[in-house]
Amino acid sequence: MFKGSLVALLTPFTAAGKVDEKAYQAFVAWQIEQGTHGLIPCGTTGESPTLSHDEHNRVVELCIEVARGKRPVIAGTGSNSTQEAIELTRHAKKAGADAALVVTPYYNRPTQEGLYLHYKAIHDAVELPIVIYTVPGRTSVDMTPETMGRLAKLPNIVGVKDSTNDLGRPFKTRRACGDKFAQLSGEDGTALAFLAQGGHGCISVTANVAPRQLADMHEAWARGDVKKAQAINERLMPLHEALFVETSPAPVKFAASLLAKARPDCRLPLAPVMDTTKERVTTAMRGAGLIN
């Protein structure tokens, strides 16, 4: 089962707008060194919607090259085209990923039956563990616990990244899917509360810039040191909030630039963050003890 602090990796770009392969692999290595428990390339934070297919596949390969045998890699392979998602998942398996993170199809707005058939088709086409990613704020569709329970009966549907921010959901999901179904929060600000409701970990944006702190928080929770986990969570809360005052990943890429880990640039249509956002992120980074 996947658990702990997993990072939704950002994708660094060069000044010319290309994927910065050297910076990316150095960033993955730093995440491992800092104690992050799992790595997710090519998710929303990795700007998958604006990566070409060749770039997408290459980024997955770059991550696996560094992480193989050290940390699990859950490659983002979702699409609103079922066939495209199958092809990306096939590549992830060939590259050596430990699992695929498959977002609910955006824009199409499928019914619950459509969602079931979409995931079943990917499951049946590629023998690789699949983590469902439900994020209604991005996709305009939510998978119900009942539909998830149907999918959990398939042997390679192993978990969910839950970005509903519904803290009643972990109980409902556990009831529908069982205790072995990995429940990973997709919301940094409520990740600790998600654990308290029966979750197993978080696929985090903030872990891009605070990997050691978030690994420590999850480890503290796992050994029953609730006070330490709460203290870390409280210290990071202003940063969790600051990283979402504009559309992610623009704020977290700016935050990473303060650590000299990546340029702040995102691809259009995401714009550079405003000066007020820069100030808020910088203040939050200082408050978290990440910069002087």
Active site residues: 133, 161
Question: Residue 177: which H helix or E strand, with range?
Answer: helix 169-177
CB of 264 within 8 A of CB of 253? yes
Cβ neighbours of 130 (radius 10 Å):
25
CA pair distance 146, 123, nearest whole angstrom: 18
End-to-end CA distance of the chain: 37
* C-alpha to C-alpha distances, 6 to 24, 34, 269, nearest whole angstrom: 16, 12, 27
Three-point CA angle 225, 230, 236, nearest 5°: 135
Tokens of 225: 């040191």
Tokens of 228: 């330490």
CB of 24 within 8 A of CB of 61? no
